[in-house]
Amino acid sequence: MKKTMTFAAALLAASVLSGVASAKTLVYCSEASPANFDPGTTTGGNDFDASSRTVYSRLVEFKHGGTEIEPGLADKWEISDDGLVYTFHLHPGVKFQTTDYFKPTRDLNADDVVFSFDRQFNKENPWNGDKYLPNLTWDYYTGMDMPKYVAKWEKVDDLTVKLTLTEPNAPMLANLGMDFASIVSKEYADQLQKDGKMADFSTKPIGTGPFQFVDYQLDSVIRYAANPDYFKGKEKIDDLVFAITPDATARIQKVLAGECDVAPYPNPADIGTIKANKDVTLLDQAGLNIGYMSYNTTIPPLDKPEVRHALNQAIDREALIKSLFQDAGATPAENLIPPTMWSWDKDVKTDAYNPDEAKKVLEAAGLKEIQLWASDRVRPYNPNFQRAAELIQADWAKVGVKAEIVNYEWTKYRAEGKKKDRPGAFQIGWTGDNGDPDNFFATLFACSAIGVSNYSSWCDKDFEDLIQKAKKTSDQAERTKLYEQAQVIFAKEAPAFLLAHSQVYAVVRNNVSGFKMDPLGIHRFDGVDKAE
Amino acid sequence: MLRYLLNKIALLIPTLVGITICAFAFVRLLPGDPILAMAGEHGVAPARYEELKQQFGFDLPIWEQYARYVGEVATGDFGVSISSKRPVIEEFKTLFPATLELSFFAMIFAMVLGIPAGIFAAVKRGSWFDQSLMGTALVGYSMPIFWWGLLLIIFFSGYLGWTPVNGRIDLQYFFKPITGFMTIDTLIYGKWAAFRSVLRHLVLPTIVLGTIPLAVIARQTRSAMLEVLSEDYVRTARAKGLSSARVIGVHALRNALIPVVTTIGLQVSTLLAGAILTETIFSWPGIGRWMVESISKRDYVVVQSGLLLIALIVMAVNLIVDVLYAVINPRIRAA
């Protein structure tokens, strides 16, 4: 009897769910399965593509295809003169998605905003710990230093929220545009808690974003439908499908065969094939990233800027970039931040190739041997650490410096590399989170980042004063000036060898319009259309 | 027979303990720290690192971590994925049918082609067919799966457009899984077009995963047949004037199949190992790909419990093969 019932239920579900997907369906070949659909709890770009950028919205948003902040769920906001209080005014009448597992009874209000952040730090909140999901770590909330800067979130009235900071922090607005700052439904959370189904919050998401979740077949397919109540207007495509395709070659073959409309991250080796195909377009953009090599500035003779400059001058950077990035290409880095980011100073240049000059300085400094670190991992900003190390080793040999290549697996590599007494030159890089220069300068070279992500153990008082002042200044023009000065100091002190900002690619079929490359590395489908 | 079975089961216990130790030790021998892997490019502050180590129990002495793990596994608790926060057993149950379905078709492919090819090569020993078959089998056995899979995709899907690139079914077919086996589910729903789509999607991964077992089965069948064909009873059968087909099909083949059955049983572990690469290339949502992704994320819980579950399956299959072997060959039972 029980079996008959199960079978009948399955057939009923089939009658509702089966069949051919409706008219305008866009298929995106994503690169990996999402860990889950709660963007506060995940860290991967593929997790965010599948949750925060489809299902959810935030108080403020990054401009599509850029890093500038624009209104999101908050129509407008004010920042107090002392930079400590942010008041957000919510867009009225924003509806949470209505699905077969949740029917909202009210519009978005300040309670949802307060709850969205409170759950990420307040240990008393039942959604903060094991009652919701085991071993939650809220990596982005802590990684972006939110516990340090946020004093409190308060509801002023239904459509007004107030954020008070412990000290001025200009990048806060950009932080609130990040994925972890997605606004979730408190009403939905309360309902699940009452029903004893809290874990569903991470598998059946409810948000206010352009698409609503329909179904996920583990490691295979994610399905979304356009949100009919989206506060910025219903999307032009009816259905959005993520076909999870981890292998890069297979992903591109799927786009070429018309099985997918959009796919990210082609192999550099496939770039030529893609360019030769008339049915698809290869989109590219300088990524919001930097590949570099940190010198430990505390260990002689690398504590002397002239030695670091000389090591930089000894490297034939153009040949190195060509060999590493091949057809995929990359923009040689002149500054720590990429040219797409505001405050990038075009007048600042890094060391030019000059082995003769380098040899003189290095001989005088008595530098004969150095450790040169490499790992096994392919990163967007450096596709082959080992090859880079071998080429740099050959260049340095020409100026009389013998480099010993040190290899470790990626996580061990970084753990060893960040130690204050790690010797030599350490290859590493960074992909930006929120388009704010602070996310590069302070994250990578602030004195407080020594032992965490400042692999040069470099602490320069002038540089530090500038970046800390810029962090506390709300006015963007003033911040730009401060960061420009910081770039001059960086170029003068040379705590690192700057390699390149890599190109980021996506392949799109020609009947798709409105898809834009995003400097933040996210893939958004709002505003995308497809011709039949 | 019962005593034989009990003996076999008793032998599984030390194997099982060995497997828990291996699964537990192997993940910890992998270089890389799960907490740093989780934190991503950001890194994690030393104080927070210690806090997380404690939260996940990585600060405990290694023997205590092992005791805790065995205790949990013994009560059927395979833990919760560090990355997805879902129970490992649930993920396994969702993904395993995909692997099983693909392995089943790969095995059918290997047997349907491998056994007749082996018989034919043995009967025509030394002929051009025999020599080319054995040469091809050697190539098949040595084939790098990753390369072979991509080659087939680029030629049949990309160039000729005959087969889909990857996945289990065309995306327009959308239904809730009942058994998890797409071939069965589409039939239950009565969706013939969807069923055909599933079969089309199975073609390339089946060939790729079945290639090595096919080579092994063909070679094993050939050598078993050659041995049997030189036996006295086969000569006697021929002398009695039986037709060649009857001698080969009835007298020789039935006896030659005994070692072949064992070989087929042993191929289950080859299939599960091959599934790791095949599933990655063909975006096949099975346990092979799940393990690969979990290793790269340093998801200890999934890797050690996944290894254990896979080992349990291989052990169960080996037990069944042993029993089957005893059933078809009474000499084993007596030994």
pLDDT tens, residue by residue, B237-268: 888 888 888 888 878 888 888 888 888 888 88
Residue B33 to residue A412, Cβ atoms within 8 A: yes
| For A32, nearest residue in chain B (alpha carbons) | B293
| For B45, nearest residue in chain A (alpha carbons) | A452
Q: Which residues of chain A neighbour B283 with C-beta distances below 8 Å?
A: 220, 243-247, 250
Q: Which of A373, A399, A397 is nearest to A385 (CA)?
A: A373
Judge whether B241 is closer than 8 Å to chain A, CB to CB: no
Q: What confidence tier does A52 reach under pLDDT thresholds 50, 70, 90?
A: very high
| For A412, nearest residue in chain B (alpha carbons) | B32
Q: Is B335 exposed, middle or buried (0-12, 13-18, 19+ CB in 10 A)?
A: exposed
Minimal CA separation from A223 to chain B, in Å = 9
Q: Which of A82, A132, A100, A502 is nearest to A287 (CA)?
A: A502
Whole-structure pTM value:
0.83
Do residues B311 and B19 make contact, with C-beta atoms less than 8 angstroms apart?
yes
Q: Is A160 exposed, middle or buried (0-12, 13-18, 19+ CB in 10 A)?
A: middle
Residue A411 to residue B33, Cβ atoms within 8 A: yes
Which whole number is the average pLDDT over A404-426? Answer: 89
A215's CB contacts (< 8 A; 6+ apart) are A17, A221, A222, A223, B174, B176
Q: What confidence tier does A130 reach under pLDDT thresholds 50, 70, 90?
A: confident
Q: What confidence tier does A16 reach under pLDDT thresholds 50, 70, 90?
A: very low
Flag whether pLDDT at A109 surpasses 90.
yes
Show the tokens assigned to A108: 């978005």
Residue B171 to residue A27, Cβ atoms within 8 A: yes
Show the tokens assigned to A245: 């395709």
Q: What is the pLDDT of residue A270?
A: 87
Flag whether pLDDT at B149 surpasses 70.
yes
Minimal CA separation from B2 to chain A, in Å = 33
Judge whether A32 is closer than 8 Å to chain B, CB to CB: yes
Q: What confidence tier does A12 reach under pLDDT thresholds 50, 70, 90?
A: very low
Q: Which residues of chain B neighbour A409 with C-beta distances below 8 Å?
A: 30-32
Which whole number is the average pLDDT over B111-134? Answer: 91
Flag whether pLDDT at B328 surpasses 80.
no
A399, containing H or E segment: none
| B 44-83 residues inside an 8 A Cβ radius of A | 44-46, 48, 52, 55-56, 80, 82-83
Q: Which of A250, A260, A265, A300 is nearest to A280 (CA)?
A: A260
Q: Which of A316, A279, A330, A283 is nearest to A396 (CA)?
A: A316
Weakest-pLDDT range from A126-130, A194-198, B125-129, B292-296: B292-296
Minimal CA separation from A268 to chain B, in Å = 16
Collapsing DSSP states into helix, strand and coil, what is residue A432?
coil
Q: What percent of chain A has pLDDT over 70?
A: 96
Q: What is the pLDDT of residue B26?
A: 80
Which of B165, B278, B287 is the best mutation test for A, with the most CBs of A within 10 A? B165
Q: What is the pLDDT of residue A3?
A: 42
Flag whether pLDDT at A4 surpasses 70.
no
Which of A7, A199, A412 is facing B31, going by the closest CB pair?
A412
pLDDT tens, residue by residue, B37-85: 666 666 666 777 787 778 777 888 888 888 888 888 888 888 888 888 8
Which of B85, B158, B289 is facing A134, going by the closest CB pair?
B85
Q: Which residues of chain B neighbour A133 with C-beta distances below 8 Å?
A: 85
Residue A241 to residue B171, Cβ atoms within 8 A: yes
pLDDT tens, residue by residue, A278-297: 999 999 888 889 999 999 99
Flag whether pLDDT at B108 surpasses 90.
yes
Judge whether A410 is closer than 8 Å to chain B, CB to CB: yes
The angle subtended at Cα A312 by Cα A371 and Cα A378, nearest 5°, is 60
Return the top range by mean pLDDT from A118-122, A265-269, B136-140.
A118-122
Q: What confidence tier does A45 reach under pLDDT thresholds 50, 70, 90?
A: confident
| A 163-222 residues inside an 8 A Cβ radius of B | 199, 202-203, 215, 217-221
Q: What confidence tier does A418 reach under pLDDT thresholds 50, 70, 90?
A: confident
What's A454's DSSP letter?
B
Q: Which residues of chain A neighbour B37 with C-beta distances below 8 Å?
A: 411
Q: What is the pLDDT of residue B31?
A: 67
Flag whether pLDDT at A22 surpasses 60.
no
How many angstroms separate the CA atoms of A39 and A52, rounded? 6
Q: Measuring CA to CA, how many Å separate A442 from each of A288, A407, A453, B45, B240?
A: 16, 27, 10, 15, 92
Q: What is the pLDDT of residue A10?
A: 43
The sign of the torsion formed by the CA atoms of B185, B191, B195, B198 equals negative
Note if the bond before A338 is cis, omega within 30 degrees.
Answer: no
Q: Which residues of chain A neighbour B191 with C-beta distances below 8 Å?
A: 18
Minimal CA separation from B304 to chain A, in Å = 18
Q: Which of A293, A246, A211 is nearest to A32 (CA)?
A: A246
| B 166-225 residues inside an 8 A Cβ radius of A | 166-168, 171-178, 188-189, 191
Q: Of how many residues is chain A composed?
A: 532
Q: What is the pLDDT of residue A153?
A: 96
Bridge-partner residues for A215, per DSSP?
A: A223
Q: Which residues of chain A neighbour B306 with C-beta distances below 8 Å?
A: none
Q: Which residues of chain B neighbour A452 with C-beta distances below 8 Å?
A: 43-46
Show the tokens assigned to A110: 């300040």
| For A277, nearest residue in chain B (alpha carbons) | B158
Q: What confidence tier does A447 reach under pLDDT thresholds 50, 70, 90?
A: very high
Q: Which of A118, A101, A107, A125 is nearest to A37 (CA)?
A: A101
The angle subtended at Cα A257 by Cα A254 and Cα A261, nearest 5°, is 60
Judge whether B94 is closer than 8 Å to chain A, CB to CB: yes
Do residues A499 and A321 make contact, with C-beta atoms less than 8 angstroms apart?
yes
Minimal CA separation from A400 to chain B, in Å = 34
B159's CB contacts (< 8 A; 6+ apart) are none
Between B141 and A85, residue with greater pLDDT: A85
| A 69-128 residues inside an 8 A Cβ radius of B | none
Q: What confidence tier does A442 reach under pLDDT thresholds 50, 70, 90?
A: very high
Residue A17 to residue B83, Cβ atoms within 8 A: no
Which of B94, B162, B166 is the best mutation test for A, with the most CBs of A within 10 A? B166
Q: What is the pLDDT of residue A263?
A: 95
| CA count, 13 A, side-chain hemisphere, B189 | 27
Show the tokens assigned to A373: 């670190």
Q: A with B: how many residue pairs have Cβ under 8 Å apart?
A: 163
Residue A453 to residue B32, Cβ atoms within 8 A: no
Which whole number is the average pLDDT over B284-306? Answer: 87
The angle subtended at Cα A200 by Cα A194 and Cα A201, nearest 5°, is 85
Q: What is the pLDDT of residue B40?
A: 61
Which whole number is the average pLDDT over A326-341? Answer: 88
Residue B285 to residue A137, Cβ atoms within 8 A: no
Minimal CA separation from B233 to chain A, in Å = 52
Q: Which residues of chain B neighbour A250 with C-beta distances below 8 Å?
A: 150, 153, 165-166, 281-283
Q: Measuring CA to CA, how many Å separate A248 from each of A41, A234, A395, B266?
A: 26, 32, 33, 32
ipTM score of complex: 0.80
Flag whether pLDDT at A21 surpasses 70.
no
Return the top range by mean pLDDT from A405-414, A484-493, A516-525.
A484-493
Q: What is the pLDDT of residue A346?
A: 93
Which whole number is the average pLDDT over A351-369? Answer: 96
Show the tokens assigned to A488: 């001059």
Q: Which residues of chain B neighbour A246 with C-beta distances below 8 Å?
A: 280, 283, 289, 293
Q: What is the pLDDT of residue A19?
A: 42
Residue B43 to residue A202, Cβ atoms within 8 A: no
Q: What is the pLDDT of residue B43?
A: 63
pLDDT tens, residue by residue, A478-510: 999 999 999 999 999 999 999 999 888 999 999
Judge whether B230 is closer than 8 Å to chain A, CB to CB: no
Between A22 and A450, residue with greater pLDDT: A450
Q: What is the pLDDT of residue B32?
A: 67
Residue B41 to residue A431, Cβ atoms within 8 A: yes
Show the tokens assigned to B284: 């096949």
Q: Which of B215, B208, B263 is nearest to B117 (CA)?
A: B215
Q: Average pLDDT over chain B, rounded to whole?
A: 86
Judge whether A274 is closer than 8 Å to chain B, CB to CB: no
Which whole number is the average pLDDT over B19-29? Answer: 84
| B 136-175 residues inside an 8 A Cβ radius of A | 150, 153-154, 157-158, 161, 164-168, 171-175
Which of B83, B285, B298 is facing A218, going by the closest CB pair?
B285
Which of B38, B41, B283 is facing A244, going by the closest CB pair?
B283
Minimal CA separation from A7 to chain B, in Å = 8
Flag whether pLDDT at A321 surpasses 90.
yes
Residue B161 to residue A241, Cβ atoms within 8 A: no
